[in-house]
Structure 1
């Protein structure tokens, strides 16, 4: 919980700092070159914090799961599948210990979840679109319901807008869209922290 809070705190601080400058500029003139530039910069930065926080938080949860060393037979299907996929890739790279673990699984030994990596859960180099968020949450047994109505906001308002800006293309960002994105990202960081904390407390990683 502490690491999740620390990760959220510095990101919220940076978001608030830039938002303050944006509000000051818009109070003087909403359509000034400065206001338009700050809105574009704000969307690019807040997307970075959306993707950065979610992936960091999921990474902390994966580390927690590895420390728990859950018996694979007791893990949820998503976690078990990700662990086995990691073993297969490790075997392809020549890992003898991974081969022994996989044989142990086949023979019913008490193999534990110890090799899982964040890379087995989500592509850290890819944009965090709604579909990737769902895949990662499903893999780790996290509830996705709080994001179920946010597909268009995540994919179009947040990801597509950020990509257009990041690729150097012209795009005018409306102040209403900034507020919509701002509210979503701030709330999402809170939601993700709560979901992961509850999953750890309630042992949602176990196949019950």
Structure 2
């Protein structure tokens, strides 16, 4: 769906989270009802799906927010600098790679002149997780969107050394014993990651409501 209004954005976020919550609820139920070896398998599958929903929800909700701001077509001078940085992404790369003063001057002139024109913010391919949404990549996504990440910092260890590490070990065929993971520990990780997903969705909704994309 095209995201043109605040309601469109909220509907997209609600839909995005609804199906993911349903699937994760089913995963949790499968773990609770499974027996013996089947429970171990369900927990391993649960971690893999939990990571998939962490990455997918952050990536998609971030893209929805970016699409919404892009649709507004506000002048860059009204927007936070991160949105002009997105629009000038390839110019900034040229600035770094070139030693020519003419190139540098033209890019700086473009930055100054672009302040007054209607924004033309690219959306496709901007939000990247590299199939490895760790805390460092998450911080970069937040910077791309111009959003604060400080509330998530206490969960960075959970993301990096628990969820991602265990997902990677499972992908490499490790036994459950090597993961230091049982049913209760899975539920703990499950609830915390789901909480982070919801917190991010709420933050994006609030950013739109409060117009935090403006300078």
Match of 1:116 in 2: 122
RMSD, aligned CA: 2.3
Match of 2:160 in 1: 155
Residue 180 of structure 1: CA displacement? 1.8
1:2 aligns with 2:11: yes
The 5 Å alignment of 1:122-137 reads 122-137=127-142
TM-score by length of 2: 0.80
Match of 2:149 in 1: 144
Q: Residues 116 and 108 of structure 1: is their aligned pair in 2 closer, same or farther, counting only changes over 3 Å?
A: closer
CA distance in structure 2 between the partners assigned to 1:47 and 1:57 by the alignment:
16
CA distance in structure 2 between the partners assigned to 1:87 and 1:115 by the alignment:
14
CA distance in structure 2 between the partners assigned to 1:175 and 1:155 by the alignment:
20
Count residues in correspondence. 192
Residue 159 of structure 1: CA displacement? 0.8
- Where do 5+ consecutive residues of structure 1 fail to align? 91-99
Contact 1:66 1:115 in 2 (8 A): yes
TM-score by length of 1: 0.82
Contact 1:75 1:205 in 2 (8 A): yes
Contact 1:4 1:193 in 2 (8 A): yes
Residue 184 of structure 1: CA displacement? 1.3
CA distance in structure 1 between the partners assigned to 2:170 and 2:191 by the alignment:
20
Cα shift readout 1:90-141 (whole Å, capped 9, x = no counterpart): 9xxxxxxxxx999654435623332322533x32433110111111112212
Q: Residues 35 and 108 of structure 1: is their aligned pair in 2 closer, same or farther, counting only changes over 3 Å?
A: closer
